[in-house]
Amino acid sequence: MGRKKKDAPDTYDLSLLSGKSYQKSNSLINAKGRSSLMAQKLFAIGIQQAEEDERGILSATIRGTDLRRIFGNTNGSFYDEIKSLVEPVKGRPSILDWRVVYTNDTTKEIEAMNVITDCKFKDGVLKFRFNDKVNEQVWQLKSNYTIFSLTETIPLKSIYSFRMFELLKAEYDKQEWMAKKKGTYIKDDTYISEVNLTDLKLKLGIIDPSASAIITEALRKENPDYKKIEDAAQLQKDAIKYKRFTDFRSATIDVAQKELAEKTSISFDYEQIKEGRGGKTTGIRFFIYQNRKNPIEEEFVEAEKEKEKKMTEAEKYTIAFQAQTLLGTEYFTMEDILAIIKAADFDIEKIQQAAKLMKKTRTAIENPTGWMINAIKKEYSQSQKRTTTTNRFNVFPQNSYDFEKLEEELLDN
């Protein structure tokens, strides 16, 4: 028997994702449809990378090398991963087959559509184009949308964890916003959301609405007949697999509960909603609350701090040499350069940016070292207003340094 292929790796390189986010309309988040975990992740990254051309076509271009780093794929190329995503296989939809049914809150209609219209992987670059109808659900949104951090969604290993996170995060943010608007907001409050069990299965892709015209038609009604939907889906593979609530719960909700608590900024508890004779489970009541922080992002930041602490003396001297070469010795002594390095926390890019801005400044700078240090600490930008005459803003008192003490501090940093 061949080894089962994982849909998500165990390791991720978050350096390309830190601080990056994507947004979706709440209508699209609550859309019903079936897709793979990789399709969801590429869609999320694609939204963050999306660009609109002069014709209004929204598309994403992602380098395969970046995808390999992000997903921890260190062996071979990313071609096989993309090929398995694009080529349809029996029982598994391709990214081009990803079809959703969602409620258009503006027109009060139910729409069914493919999310991606075309996809190409060539010369190590993945390109795909969004359906025009999707554009308004992910691009330049002004209301009724939710923002997600890529460092929260990408590390999730289950498609159900991914979808549950988006659904519950959207609900949490919506209720928090409403509480603030009403003046009833309580920090670290718990918000409650009730979901019909069949509706949840549709949103998780366990029941595929696009596989049956009966289901699609039933969803067009304001109050869908969920029993009719369940009956129409009784031959669908996943619907059969998770027909028993205990099987559904263990494979979806319990998995998501554990993953979200470990990797995202929210956690949840839940209870069954039962009705009728025998207490049949018809829905789920979720209790959603905040984690202290995004654990994955926090772990990444701490790792970066540790990396900085372990900077060797040789690396520090290399940065000092780079800074000296960049700034020159006409206006800066070695003591000045070391003081600037310390102010920049050994970040050569901050020094480069400050030096670039100083060259563009048209005012007379009496103390270049003081100007550089102030520029770095106050994060001057290129939009900073500048005047054409000398003023007190650019006049700094001359600094004096204990060179040996300063060098010792730098090397001990």
pLDDT tens digits for range 332-358: 888 888 888 888 888 888 898 888 888
**Residue 155 CB partners (closer than 8 Å, separation 6+):** 8, 12, 14, 263, 296
Tokens matching residue 371: 């100007």
Q: Which of 155, 187, 205 is the last residue of a domain?
A: 155
Q: What is the pTM of this model?
A: 0.68
Res. 390: pLDDT tops 50: no
Is residue 209 a part of any domain in this protein?
no
User: How many CB atoms within 10 Å of residue 11?
Assistant: 10
Res. 203: pLDDT tops 90: yes
Is residue 91 a part of any domain in this protein?
yes
The more confidently predicted of residues 112 and 132 is: 132
Question: In this predicted structure, what is the pLDDT of residue 72?
Answer: 73
Is residue 220 a part of any domain in this protein?
no
Res. 115: pLDDT tops 80: yes
**Of 5-14, 43-52, 282-291, which range is least confident?**
5-14
Q: Is 358:371 a contact under the CB 8 Å cutoff?
A: yes
How far is the CA of 367 from the CAs of 80, 195, 333, 376, 397, in angstroms?
A: 58, 65, 12, 14, 7
Res. 309: pLDDT tops 50: yes
Is residue 50 a part of any domain in this protein?
yes
- The region, left, alpha or beta by phi > 0 then psi within -120 to 50, assigned to residue 111 is beta
Question: In this predicted structure, what is the pLDDT of residue 393?
Answer: 36
Domain that holds residue 379: 311-412
Res. 136: pLDDT tops 80: yes
Res. 383: pLDDT tops 80: no
Is residue 141 a part of any domain in this protein?
yes
Confidence class for position 191, pLDDT limits 50, 70, 90:
very high
pLDDT in tens, 37-85: 888 999 999 999 899 988 889 999 988 888 888 887 655 556 777 777 7
Q: Can you tell me the distance from the alpha carbon of 407 to that of 413, in angstroms, rounded to the nearest whole number? A: 10
The more confidently predicted of residues 294 and 20 is: 20
Any idea what the CATH number is for the domain that residue 13 is in? 1.10.10.10
Is residue 252 a part of any domain in this protein?
no
Is residue 287 a part of any domain in this protein?
no
Question: In this predicted structure, what is the pLDDT of residue 104?
Answer: 66
Question: In this predicted structure, what is the pLDDT of residue 167?
Answer: 97
Q: Which of 122, 137, 155 is the last residue of a domain?
A: 155
The count of domains in the chain is 2
Q: Which of 109, 129, 155 is the last residue of a domain?
A: 155
State the amino acid at position 319 in one-letter form. Answer: I
Confidence class for position 296, pLDDT limits 50, 70, 90:
low
φ/ψ (deg, to 5) at 351: -65, -45
Question: In this predicted structure, what is the pLDDT of residue 380?
Answer: 64
Is residue 297 a part of any domain in this protein?
no
Res. 400: pLDDT tops 70: no
